[in-house]
Structure formats: structure tokens, C-alpha cells
Amino acid sequence: MLKEKFHIEFVMGSATQASLWRMISQIDGLSEWFADEVTMNEGENMYTFFWGKSDNRAEIVNSKPQQCIRFRWLDEEDETVYFEFQLHKLELSSEIALQITDFAEPDEKGDTIALWETQIDKMKRRLGIL
């Protein structure tokens, strides 16, 4: 079944662009909310994410510092499928928003969005903005 692209956006309150960038792009930040542990292969744009006894590798396919970072899972057969974190300032409130782009099979989209919401709540707690 083909995966569908979707976008979800979270207003990140008083978080700074720099603190959010660390959370979405650095191994120490990602290991605070996204995975139990994250490692990076030196000299490569390759991250390994660990959850309990399982792991998955992803490569960075695009990055604009302080703005967006796109990952692609190495075990994903469809090379057009990725997940991306993008930061932008909201015009009316000047707060930072985090937009996530991801792909899911139609019958799994609701569960995938719920998982992202849980993970972002964890990130907000780590940043002290909940």
C-alpha cells in the first residue's frame, strides 16, 4: 500500500530556535524525546536510533541549519519517503512552530499522528514549555 504524506504543526511556546534546533538535529537532543539513544557515524550523515532492543538507521538527506532537517530511514523501500522537521516563526505571535512532515499508510495515519503528538509532548516537557 502506498504511503501518504502528511504535515502536522506544533506551536512551541517560549522555546528558542536554538533549543528546538538542538532537539531535532543533535544526537543529545534527539535522545531526550525521539529515541532512547541516538548515535551518529562520524564523517557521515547517518544516525542510528535505539528504542529498547530495536534500532533503525536514518540518513540526513537535507539540512538547513536552524530551519529544517530531513531524514530517510534506510530500511524504507520507497526512496521518496522521509520525515522532516521544519522550524518557522508565526507572524501573529512571534512564537516558533515545529512542522513535521511524515508518511504513513492510510489506515495507520491516525496512529502515526498520535505517536508524534506524544513525542512532541515529551519534547515540550524536556524544554520546560508544557
The structure's pTM equals 0.93
Q: Are 71 and 81 in contact (CB under 8 A)?
A: no
**pLDDT tens track, the chain, 130 positions:** 789 999 999 999 889 999 999 999 999 999 999 999 999 987 778 999 999 999 999 999 999 999 999 999 999 999 999 999 999 999 888 899 999 999 999 999 999 999 999 999 999 999 998 7
94: left (phi over 0), alpha (psi -120 to 50) or beta: left
How wide is the angle at C-alpha 41 spanned by C-alphas 8 and 74, nearest 5°? 50
The residue whose grid cell reads 519534547 is 123
Q: Are 29 and 23 in contact (CB under 8 A)?
A: yes
* CA gap 118, 112 in Å, rounded: 10
